Amino acid sequence: MQERTLRIDAGRFTVRLAESDEDVAAAQRLRYRVFVEEMGATPSPDDRALRRERDAFDPYFDHLLLIDNHAKPADPLDGVAGVYRLLRGDVAKQGCGFYGESEYDLTKIKEYPRGTVELGRSCVDIAHRGGAAMHLLWTGLGRYVAEHSIEIMFGVASFHGSDPTKLAMPLAYLHHNHLAPEDLRVRTREEFFVPMDLIPADQVVRAEAMRQIPPLIKAYIRLGGSVGEGAYVDHAFNTVDVCLLMDTSRMVDRYREFYQRASRGATDRILG
């Protein structure tokens, strides 16, 4: 974890970076509820006992937290309503590497000459989905990339379920319409490569594809995001993964728009 200056107070919610081991543990508790209890990921025995989803990369990431200031949980670790974890390229180069390297050949990202950040483990508590929560997390993310002069953000995003054939339509839609430019087109490692173009472009039904694409992936695409080549089946997490990449200039504009509207008392148009 790095500097702890980022903080956004927005009435009921606060967005800030984790400041302590307990903050990180609270993020891991929310991840456990979402990825293990909801989505069926397989935890280790220790994680199951603690009800925390953890891995060896957590100490290197910044953890962006969404806190519901109205919540009064019996266990303090249950007080986080949303999380993102963020690993800047300059930190990864110090020795830990990127989490996504276990799934994708990230050479093009590692050789990119300007600021990058890997995103991961994004989730929102079920009680706060469909409202302001994700918008606020994205606002915090926009501020983070602006403060650190980050030009490219990327990360693994997931479809629920581990059978790519059941996701042929949305995977093909992303491949045929939103494939990353060649200079940033990362590729699934050869031993894990799952083709995404399972359906020819002229047979893709956009409405059906969009119905199956998770909201987070849709949000990246709306902001100009693209995908790497090939998918990855993560059996431990019960997901099919794609690697999303995005130029951050649109995210920074979103962050600035939020503050311009907030100063005029018009945040509803951004937050819900």
What mean pLDDT is reported for the chain? 88
Q: What per-residue confidence (pLDDT) applies to 248?
A: 83
Q: Residue 2 falls within a domain, yes or no?
A: no
pLDDT single digits (tens) 118-140: 999 989 998 888 777 878 888 89
Q: Residue 11 falls within a domain, yes or no?
A: yes
Structure tokens at 55: 């891995």
Beta-bridged to residue 13, according to DSSP, are: 10, 68
- The number of distinct structural domains making up the chain is 1
Q: How far is CA 1 from the centre of its chain?
A: 17
| CATH code where residue 101 lies | 3.40.630.30
Q: Residue 149 falls within a domain, yes or no?
A: yes
| C-beta separation of 158 from 99 below 8 A | no
Q: What per-residue confidence (pLDDT) applies to 247?
A: 86
pLDDT single digits (tens) 196-237: 999 999 999 999 999 999 988 998 898 889 999 999 999 998
H or E, element range at 10: strand 7-10
Q: Residue 1 falls within a domain, yes or no?
A: no
Give the structural domain span for 168: 7-271
Instruction: For strands 115-124 and 150-160, give the pairing.
Output: parallel
Q: Residue 222 falls within a domain, yes or no?
A: yes
Enumerate residue ranges in the chain where pLDDT < 70. 1-4, 250-272
Q: What per-residue confidence (pLDDT) applies to 215?
A: 85
Distance separating alpha carbons of residues 164 and 194, to the nearest angstrom: 8
| C-beta separation of 12 from 20 below 8 A | no
Structure tokens at 102: 């276990």
Q: What per-residue confidence (pLDDT) applies to 251?
A: 59
Distance separating alpha carbons of residues 204 and 173, to the nearest angstrom: 6
